[in-house]
Structure 1
Amino acid sequence: MPGLFKRTLFALISALSFASFILILVAMGTPKWMTGKILCKTGAELVNATDPELIKFMGEIYYGLFGGGKMRKCGLGGRHSKFTIFPHLVKQLNTSLHLVIIFFLCAAFSSALASLGFCVFNIIKVPYQAIHGPAGIALWNFLAGGFAVLASTSFMAAVKLHNLTERIANFRENIFQFVILEEQYEDSFWLCIVSAAIHGVNLLLVAISEIRFPSLKTKTEEANVTAEDIMY
């Protein structure tokens, strides 16, 4: 069984891996990855709205991986609506990229669970193969962190390169056209970044667990045997 120092580090790594697993699940289940302000361009052009009047045509939008909502303003007050990405809206997006993001996140939390299992295995018994030792823990943490980073960068690519927010805002809008005034990444997106950072910390802890500290040994004093000791 590993020493107390290693077992403590493995317990900490397992706790962090479980926290990463929870963070990714929360991120996937919440609908606020991105928020933004949208302008009803068609309505503003119809009435030749000037700057003070544009506020009547500015709405809001938020969305995640599976759904979201928006408040559209086209001069007649705000109207709230909700939408789901699957099964219809995803066809208007870059379908393959959106599915890749979900796949990366699923792979990330699966690897985080594998890291948790390997840590528990290393705490309770001595590994009989190298892959079950610190090398295995490092491997799964590297995969989990890498998949979380890939998911985050893929989502950013969908937003910036494929106009994700604008496509969602104009979904099923046959009369009005909306343009994006402002975009902001929200908490669910940053949870994925935190998850990747957690696995980076885990890799550092695995490296620390391999450090062999010098053991302190008490030097035994040499006995000075004298003639008096022999007599007694």
Structure 2
Amino acid sequence: MPGCLKKTLFALASLVSFVSFILIVVAMGTPKWMTGKILCKTGADLVNATDPELIKFIGEIYYGLFRGGKIRQCGLGGRRSKFTIFPHMVKKLNTGLHVMIIIFLCVAIFFSLVSFGFCILNAIKVPYRAINGPAGACLWNFLAGGFVVLAVTSFMAAVKLHHLTERIANFQENIFRFVILEERFEDCFWICVASATSHAVNLLLIAISGIHFPKIKTKTEEVNVTAEDIMY
């Protein structure tokens, strides 16, 4: 492949790696990975609320990896509150799994920056070692994307298998018990999915840069030199 096009592909790959880094940082800092509707079951049972009256007992909840908030509806109007996952709430959750999600994302941030650096290196010169060349860039992108996938999968497992939303909704609730009516993965979750997808795009760009196209040579016309040409 022509050097100019190859450098352009690696420059584009470096840009994608940097965008992936930004996406992960934004996702980790935003408290809206999950939103849902919560029913104050204790309050609804006390008054034997029927379907039209249940709306007075349905609140909302949202949370991310570090903080969140909820609106409690127990028949007396909505009460807003905010909470932080660390240091106290995490003890009531699956601590190991939650910490692993954060670690996976931190490692993905590191490898995204490494991928960014090595893609720039490939764009400005041809490295002499395989780990610095296209094979190395593929390795760093694969690792970064793989750790993002592990983080996303672990978060889904925490929500679906370990009932993360219900545990958070009932944290320090001594009187009322809340049940989950609805759960939705929000923008920050899908931002992480987009980050993993961007590394897959990088792998495709690097693979394209390794294709060797045949060089197009222009056929030169043969010039017949005669004795008269030499004389003149």
TM-score normalised according to structure 1 size: 0.98
Larger displacement relative to structure 2 (212-221 or 142-151): 212-221
Pairwise CA distance, 1:215: 1.4
Gaps of 5+ in 2: none
Task: Tell me the residue number matched to 2:149.
Answer: 149
- CA separation in 2, counterparts of 1:122 and 1:116? 10
CA distance in 2, matches of 1:132, 1:6: 15
1:189 corresponds in structure 2 to 189
Output the CA distance in 1 between the equivalents of 2:229 and 2:121.
55
Which residue of 2 is the match for residue 125 of structure 1? Answer: 125
Shift of the alpha carbon at 1:221? 2.1
Q: How many angstroms apart in 1 are the aligned matches of 2:208 and 2:109?
A: 24
- 2:54 is paired with a residue whose SS is helix
CA distance in 2 between partners of 1:227 and 1:136 (Å): 60
Equivalent residue number for residue 218 of structure 1 = 218
1:48: which partner in 2?
A: 48
Partner Cα separation in structure 2 for residue 219 and residue 158 of structure 1: 66
Report the equivalent of 2:70.
70
Identity of aligned residues (%): 77
**Tell me, what secondary structure is at the counterpart of 1:136?**
helix
Q: Distance in 2 between matches of 1:230 and 1:198?
A: 64
Q: Secondary structure at the match of 1:182?
A: strand
CA distance in 2, matches of 1:11, 1:230: 53
Deviation of 1:121 after TM superposition, in Å, equals: 1.3
- SS of residue paired to 1:112: helix
**Structure 1: 5+ residue runs without aligned partners?**
none
Extract structure 1 runs of 4+ deviating beyond 3 A.
none
Cα deviation 1:114-139 (Å, max 9, x = unaligned): 00000111122220201100001100
TM-score by length of 2: 0.98
The one-letter code of the counterpart of 1:36 is: G
Q: Is 1:79 aligned to residue 75 of structure 2?
A: no
Once residues 27 and 42 of structure 1 are traced to their aligned partners in structure 2, the CA distance between those partners, rounded to angstroms, is 34
Give the number of aligned pairs: 231
Residue in 2 that maps onto 1:109: 109
- What is the CA distance between 1:226 and its match in structure 2? 1.9
- TM-aligned CA deviation for residue 217 of structure 1: 1.6
CA distance in 1 between counterparts of 2:150 and 2:103 reads 10
Please report the RMSD computed on the Cα atoms of aligned residues, expressed in angstroms: 1.0
Partner of 1:31: 31
Deviations 1:15-57 (A, max 9, x none): 0000000000000000000000000000000000010000000
* CA offset digits 1:44-76 (Å, max 9, x no partner): 000000100000000000000001000001011
Q: How far apart, in 1, do the equivalents of 2:124 and 2:195 lie?
A: 26
